[in-house]
Amino acid sequence: MRKDIWMRISLMIFTALLVTGCTDAANEEVLTPSITPTVEQSNAVSHRLVSTTVAATQFTDVLDLDLVGVPTSSKVLPKRYDGVTKVGNPMTPNMEIVKSLEPTEVLSVTTLEYDLAPVFKNADLQANFLDFTSLERMNKAILDIGQRYGRENQANALVEGYAAKVEQIQKQIEGKPKPKVLILLGVPGSYLVATENSYIGDLVRLAGGKNIVEDSKVEYLASNTEYLQKSNPDVILRAAHGMPEEVIKMFEKEFKKNDIWKHFAAVENNRVYDLPEELFATTGNLAVSEALDATVKMLFP
């Protein structure tokens, strides 16, 4: 019972904090004067989009879509959105501001859908929760946006670029044995184990790694160091979110204080890596190619 309660509390903490790290006047898209607007122009002028996450905002920029609202974030947003109204934190957008922008659609992500779906529904706002939990799902979401807003060319180019990167990596690691990988995802005071169903877990799979957690249907599991040690991972990846510097210190303290980590092959062989947050967010983002390259280097030094 204690373990179940701990797991529920940990998962609640992670849901509340992880997406914070992911993850300014209204700015309508201007239609270039034309006697006969193109289909793309007609689609653009009839929509007012609000993006509530950094990842979604990055993609709308690449797809050449203007926004009337963007998330409030410490991260630098694309320059095209300078001056666009900020609508608040991705987890708790300011609904008064969002509604005042009269959006035709609000973009968020599926990892926040459970909490935000009823909020948007009560505000009578059309919300689109994009699935960025894997590269395949992210590509599908990008193509869907491209099709609905007349940006098929931009969407196809982006997805094809990611496909080319994956193909390059597959050739690069062909014939090499798959290293066993443990992924730890931490926020201040706690950490969980990321499964293959998480975004970072998907990156590891694409880069040729084998997650030590198999046959799981969830993205994250509570940590059990004895079980993890028995799995004897070749590589340990530590992802820090929420307050990265504090989490890295937490990991370092945990690995020194808890003697069981000394018996991990990854620790003995100095194969423990801290993942840079700008590349390894908790959901898919624009830095997929760079993240895959970095992962391959860690798995196959």
Q: What is the pLDDT along the chain (301 residues), one digit of tens a residue?
A: 434 434 444 544 444 444 444 443 333 333 333 333 344 444 444 789 999 999 999 999 999 999 999 999 988 999 999 999 999 999 999 999 999 999 999 999 999 999 999 999 999 999 999 999 999 999 999 999 999 999 999 999 999 999 999 999 999 999 999 999 999 999 888 899 999 999 999 999 999 999 999 878 899 999 888 889 899 999 999 998 777 888 899 999 999 999 999 999 999 999 999 999 889 999 999 999 999 999 999 999 8
Q: Could you tell me which CATH number the domain at 175-299 has? A: 3.40.50.1980
Q: Could you tell me which CATH number the domain at 2-165 has? A: 3.40.50.1980
pLDDT at 250: 92
* For the chain, domain boundaries: 2-165, 175-299
β-pair type (210-211, 220-222): unpaired
Q: Alpha-carbon distance 71 to 87, whole Å?
A: 5
Fold matches, 2-165 and 175-299: yes
Amino acid at 201: G
Q: Note whether 165 and 292 are within 8 A (CB).
A: yes
pLDDT at 29: 37
Q: Alpha-carbon distance 288 to 270, whole Å?
A: 26
Q: Alpha-carbon distance 289 to 292, whole Å?
A: 5
Q: Alpha-carbon distance 228 to 12, whole Å?
A: 22
